[in-house]
Amino acid sequence: MTTAEGVMGFQGIAINVWLIWMLPFIGAALMPALRRNKPNLLNYTAVGFSLASAILAATLIPLALTDSEVHSQINWISALNLDAGILADPLAIIMTNVVAWISFLIFVYSVGYLHGERDLTRYWFFMLFFIGSMQLIVLSDNLLMLFFGWEGVGLASYALIGFWYYDKKKDYVGRERHMALGIPMWASPTHAGMKAFLMTKAGDIMMLAGMFLIFIYAGTFGFKELVADQSWAIEMSSQNLLVPAAILLFGGAVGKSAQLPLNEWLLEAMTGPTSVSALIHAATMVKAGVFLVGRIGPLFFALAAFDMAQFFEVIAWVGAITAFLLATQALVNPEIKKVLAYSTGSQIGYMMMALGIAGLSTQFVDGYTAGFFQLISHALFKASLFMGAGALLHAVGSRFLTDMGGVRKHMKKTYIFMLLAGLSLAGAPLVTSGFWSKDSIFAATLESGYTYAIPLFAIAVIVAIMTAFYTFRMLGMAFFGDPSKHLKEMDAKGHHVHEVSKVMWVPFGILAGATIAIGLIGIPFEEELHNVFAAYLDTSFGIPEEGSTQGEVMTGQQGPGGDESEEEREVEGRFEINYAAVAASVIAFGVGGGLGYLFYIARKLNPEIISKSIVTRAIWKFLYNRWYLNSILYWGTVIIPMLIYRIIWRYFESTIIDGINPAFQFSMSSFSKIVKAGQTGITQTYLFVFGVGIMILVMLLLI
């Protein structure tokens, strides 16, 4: 590997890496200074800084393709012997480009989407602040700097979810007066922002605990230092702290990536502008947890002699269960942005499952590649879908799918691009990136050798069927059928549905085209990604591409193919198609997509048949109420604790404490009066009392 080890400061191409995350912060700092100028200057400045960061990220791509890296450090906290540093290795380079270029396109989209918005300064400040923080997560060479970026994206997310803090009813999510177990299922922007902030903080605290637990034993937060000297892992393992520390770090990923049980915040984060949903809650921030697992996963796999299988099992099963849970809820939700939000959490579950399977497999690179292939693919088509949904909201004036219908006649470009992105989400065979990325996860699971690979595979296939169904449902309700009552009323008032401006549809059109382009070259693209990660894992962590068990990685032994010739290993290492996985992918799309087509596009079947059976109606209600998890969350963490606090206040604070205080006050007052009575100021009285005291003391001694 060609490296820039030991580089101090801003030398050579390292300056590019530093500037990737610094430029957005500089742009954010300039926003308040430009607030009195025309909106166009704010727009151009923000877009310009995002473009500059993206171009700098692109300059690093050749390094990833040649298995090279840039590692640069500067002095930071001398007392703790900590340096601030950036690490642009193949993993970070791929991720930083995904973040940078999608951010740039969404910034361009924002110019049209927020045209006329009065709080543009605040919007652009937090959007640029977010990009800088996200890039800091990706490019940091240590956990402490990464955590600063981690908290930065959390702050930006909170501010942008609650961007419309006026809390007008049109900015709410959920259907008004919808209750479940006595808990409102709709939320205002300020409520949703606070909920997101608090729930992600639960994960952040776990992550912080895991970080410092490792620091106590390793004396460093640096990723490369943790790999180079693994004595800390030996000591932690001897005290049974290694797996708990790793799971605590994963807790941070669970919070940021909205995985079970910290998934509920994402579903209400749709109160922010759709451009925010596209950038933060679909393409980038929610992927931060996946990136963190991708950053620390190989490290813990390389420590597999200490039996880290439990850590990877937790990742795999949390991902699989989350994918299933949120996919079921997306089947019935009537709001377009919430359907996409459920889908986002579900698809991230796929990514987590793949990374967990990687650690449970003898071929770590397969699951690792599958997870990041899904990340790249999902970032493209989900950002496109969210921006397309924003275009629909602009045109229709409602977030509910039931208020749409037949819109494709008036918004042909939006329809075409959302159809292409939707097909990728649904996993349309052979021509979409979503098909190949899901197929790679299926294949990695089947080939992992994990004891419970089949149950995981079954869950993944079922989720794929549901994904295809709710995607066609969403597209069918929005673009097909007759216009809704809402649209007819709009038309009667002279408000006609029309296509959005070019500055809005071009960005999500580019992303939709990209997901199809990658789909058309799916196998070569996946193979190249596989080769990049194989070289990276081998060079940086000593994880070979083929045939090594976890224990062999740690001891440096070769796997079953250790005696084979180089030519034989090269033949085995070539990319191969798993036909069982491909067949499962095709069947899943056919079943789910076919049902969705019959119900919502061709309209051959009426979805209202669900209401005719008490069983299906109960299932629908259960899913619509989000498995009652949101209600249980509020009862367990808000309602019941507050009830306990009120009881304590009423019967302990108010009765006992408030009763003790006056009694204590009265006692002290009475005692002071007695003491005061003895203070006559007459010397003879004092001598008499003194004498009596001596007599009593002498009598006690004689006794």
What is each CA distance from 178 to 173, 332, 630, in whole angstroms?
11, 14, 13
Residue 550 in this model has a pLDDT that exceeds 50: no
Q: What percent of the chain has pLDDT over 90?
A: 72
Taking only the tens place, the pLDDT of each residue in 615-659 is 999 999 999 999 999 999 999 999 999 898 888 877 776 677 666
Taking only the tens place, the pLDDT of each residue in 56-78 is 999 999 999 998 999 999 988 88
pLDDT of amino acid 515: 96
What's this model's pTM, rounded to 2 decimal places?
A: 0.89
Residue 572 in this model has a pLDDT that exceeds 60: no
pLDDT of amino acid 659: 67
pLDDT band at 469, cuts 50/70/90? very high
Task: State the average pLDDT over residues 207-212.
Answer: 96
Task: State the average pLDDT over residues 590-606.
Answer: 94
pLDDT of amino acid 304: 65
**Closest to 358 (Cα-Cα) out of 292, 391, 313:** 313
**DSSP-derived secondary structure for 241-291:** -HHHHHHHHHHHHHHHTT-TTS-HHHHHGGGS-HHHHHIIIIISGGGHHHH
Residue 487 in this model has a pLDDT that exceeds 60: yes
Lowest pLDDT segment from 306-315, 372-381, 456-465, 662-671: 662-671
pLDDT of amino acid 557: 41
Task: State the average pLDDT over residues 348-355.
Answer: 97
Mean per-residue pLDDT over the chain, rounded: 89
Residues linked to residue 70 through DSSP beta bridges, in sequence order: 88
Lowest pLDDT segment from 34-43, 90-99, 641-650, 659-668: 659-668
Task: State the average pLDDT over residues 107-126.
Answer: 93
Residue 29 in this model has a pLDDT that exceeds 50: yes
Taking only the tens place, the pLDDT of each residue in 16-27 is 999 999 999 999
Residue 386 in this model has a pLDDT that exceeds 80: yes
pLDDT of amino acid 362: 83
**DSSP-derived secondary structure for 351-416:** HHHHHHHHHHSS-HHHHHHHHHHHHHHHHHHHHHHHHHHHHHHHHHS-SBGGG--SGGGT-HHHHH
Task: State the average pLDDT over residues 687-699.
Answer: 83
Residue 559 in this model has a pLDDT that exceeds 60: no
Residue 155 CA neighbour count, 13 Å, CB half = 15
Asked if 336 and 391 touch (Cβ cutoff 8 Å), the reply is no
Cα 31 to Cα 125: distance, rounded to the nearest angstrom? 6
Taking only the tens place, the pLDDT of each residue in 121-172 is 999 999 999 999 999 999 999 999 999 999 999 999 999 999 999 999 888 9
